[in-house]
Amino acid sequence: MRCPACLLLWLLLAAGTAAAAEQKSPAGDLQAIATKFVDRLAAGDFATAVKSFDPTMTAALPPDKLAEVWKSLNAQAGPFLKQTGARAAKESKYQVIFVACAFEKAVLEAKIVFDESKRIAGLFFVPPPGASEYRPPAYDRPEAYGEARLRVGRGDWTLPGTLLIPAGPGPVPGIVLVPGSGPLDRDETVGPNRPFRDLASGLASRGVAVLRYDKRTLVHARRLAAKRDTLTLHEETVADAVEAVRLLRRSRGVDGGRVFVLGHSLGGVALPRIAALEPGIAGFVMLATPSRSLQDVYQEQMAYLFGLDGVVTDEERARLESIGREVERVDHPESASTSGADDLPLGLGRAYWDDLRRHDAREAAVLLEGPVLVMQGGRDYQVTREDFEGWRRLLAEKSNVTFELYPSLNHLFIEGEGRSTPDEYHVAGHVAVQVVADLAEWLKGRPAVTTPRT
């Protein structure tokens, strides 16, 4: 899982993945609405702020949830200082205003998406242009592989993706990268960091084909948000991962009997369900995957963040108590007096939580056929060593499981020192070379399996 703000923001609505076209002069009325909206966030006037939302946003992000997003953002970027400007752009049919916001620890842009009625239909906090320039890691050897852009999935839910194919004679093993929670792009971009881009180039440089893709919650966010009450992990993650496996198997130069699936964080939770729908996968990689329930991990993350400064305020304590009640409604739905999405963790509907309970990933992982590699960063505060040890216990009877713990790595598998905090996600780094090397060696050492026709 990613930081709590990202977990909360995944329901906020994107206008698609098309690049924003800069407009020469900002739309004055929209800019005024956008800057006033940010003023209200800064003032803590969330009840008034949500009056600018369209109906879908109003349902997805009521005042208390918006307050939680803002508080989580402040925990990462520091207190809000001031607005420093605004610019306008257009994405597909939507008008977008980017409001530059200076926080104590970071400069971000509030990306505010407007519909044709001048209502706010989407909200993201993103780095300003140029702030997240990516520099490839030293282990990336672009001469060692080719790159192809393609589409993953079928019909109205297709997603843009990238396939890296090693140069030279094939066929080669291949792996699908399944992202964690949040409206993630194919690189799993977090600030200046792109862990899936690192993994893809590192593995391709070592002879493994890699398919990664933008997540459905990014590309089709508006449609999914409208289905909040019925959304499950299948629609969010599983269905597209299955399509990606089938596509990779059909790709020229890839050995269809040596196609693996890697899931990061929530993506790892989805692995047993992907396997159930697509037999014959050669093996599975759990990257920072929780062995505890999502609601328990979320509750622990929020407590960790609120306690980082050594002081838990009355407001923070009240919010933690509220989160505890939300978790209780998930754990004991039969005794819950209210069970709408607004009363449950992360603004996710009852269908999502019931679906997770019906498909217990911990029990299903024990039944996975094929080899499993469990990789964990020792400094990860989001999915912790407790989860790693949980997998050790749960999978202790399986002979084809490998465990790798990297003491100095965080949730993105990037090196660091001391106690891990959200601040380090704003510092550019790369997935540790040892992770890439260990993963490539493990993948290339697994035998081929017989695959069904797809």
**Active-site amino acid positions:** 265, 380, 411
Rounded Cα distance, 362 and 272, in Å:
9
Token pair belonging to 184: 């993630």
- Cα separations (Å) of 16 from 86, 239, 246? 21, 19, 24
Phi, psi (rounded to 5 degrees) for 290: -70, 135
Q: Which residues contact 431 (CB under 8 A, 6 or more apart)?
A: 137, 195, 198, 199, 202, 412, 413, 414
Q: Cis bond leading into 136, ω under 30°? A: no
Token pair belonging to 195: 């862990």
Q: Which residues contact 107 (CB under 8 A, 6 or more apart)?
A: 84, 100, 101, 127, 128, 131
Rounded Cα distance, 101 and 129, in Å:
13
Is 443 within 8 Å of 203 (Cβ atoms)? yes
How far is CA 451 from its chain centroid? 29
